[in-house]
Amino acid sequence: MAASLPPVITVFERSPDRGKGLARDMRVRWALEEAGQPYEVQLVSFDAMKQPAHRARHPFGQIPTYEENGLTLFESGAIVFHLANTRTGLLPDDPHARARAVTWMFAALNTVEPPILDLQTVKFQERDQPWYAQRLPMVEDRIRGRLGELADRLGDAEWLDGAFSAGDLLMVSVLLRLRASGLLDESPNLAAYVARGEGRPAYNRAFDAQLALFNSRSSGGVGR
């Protein structure tokens, strides 16, 4: 009986990006949809996220978390990996191809995302600082360096290494954070790559679900 219960993920009760799909539950929702895995959503407020009950699930007091059959995971990359590793459709079967796809998961999160997070830090936490105007272009140039290298590797391929994988899912998710900055459009092949990701039916189901939740909460509805 317990084995048939769908996994439960936690998401923002009210996403700070107002449903633009940039909260990290989106990565997990997308992976769940790619795997055809139904799931339940549990809402967590900003206050509740920092309380012991949630910190027992997520030591850093963030979302998403993932609970299933007595297993509790946090960290969106790890949850996507768990889904990819236990369901089909997100990692190739061939061991070498699989290892390479996992490499792109780590590259997305540990090489490409850090300078992008730094840009968000600058924009949201340092906008009023006297150094903002001078520091912003430095951070943008660091991102440009990484994007140029990624664009060179991608070339005119559809995905980073053969068929679409969890590596692409995370890379597209990371790059999407750049859309508002205009930096992504400086690399046309990367912009097209991200658009291909956004065009996947699973992406759209996940996006629509998080947007519907935001809208229902904003209009005073019950959500869920």
Residues that bind a copy of itself (CB under 8 A): 55, 59-62, 70-75, 77-79, 81-82, 85, 96, 99-100, 102-103, 105-107, 109-111, 113-114, 117-118, 121, 125-126, 129-131, 134-135, 138, 146, 149-150, 152-153
To a copy of itself, the closest distance from the beta carbon of 27 in angstroms equals 11
DSSP character for 202? Answer: H
To a copy of itself, the closest distance from the beta carbon of 80 in angstroms equals 9
To a copy of itself, the closest distance from the beta carbon of 18 in angstroms equals 24
CB distance 77 to 109 below 8 Å: yes
Question: From CA 205, how far away is CA 49, in angstroms rounded?
Answer: 26
CA-to-CA separations, 102 to 36, 93, 108, 140, in angstroms, rounded: 20, 12, 10, 27
CB nearer to a copy of itself: pick between 177 and 217: 177
DSSP character for 165? Answer: -
CB nearer to a copy of itself: pick between 73 and 169: 73
To a copy of itself, the closest distance from the beta carbon of 200 in angstroms equals 23
CA-to-CA separations, 53 to 7, 35, 50, 64, 128, in angstroms, rounded: 18, 29, 8, 14, 35
How long a stretch of residues is the chain?
224
CB nearer to a copy of itself: pick between 101 and 213: 101
Map residue 9 onto helix, strand or coil.
Answer: strand
Tokens of 63: 């979302």
Would the CA dihedral through 184, 154, 204, 41 be positive or negative? Answer: negative
CB nearer to a copy of itself: pick between 173 and 210: 173
CB nearer to a copy of itself: pick between 33 and 68: 68
Would the CA dihedral through 39, 224, 168, 102 be positive or negative? Answer: negative
Beta bridge partners of 66: 9, 73
Map residue 50 onto helix, strand or coil.
Answer: coil
To a copy of itself, the closest distance from the beta carbon of 4 in angstroms equals 17
To a copy of itself, the closest distance from the beta carbon of 8 in angstroms equals 15
CB nearer to a copy of itself: pick between 159 and 214: 159
CB nearer to a copy of itself: pick between 17 and 149: 149
To a copy of itself, the closest distance from the beta carbon of 216 in angstroms equals 29
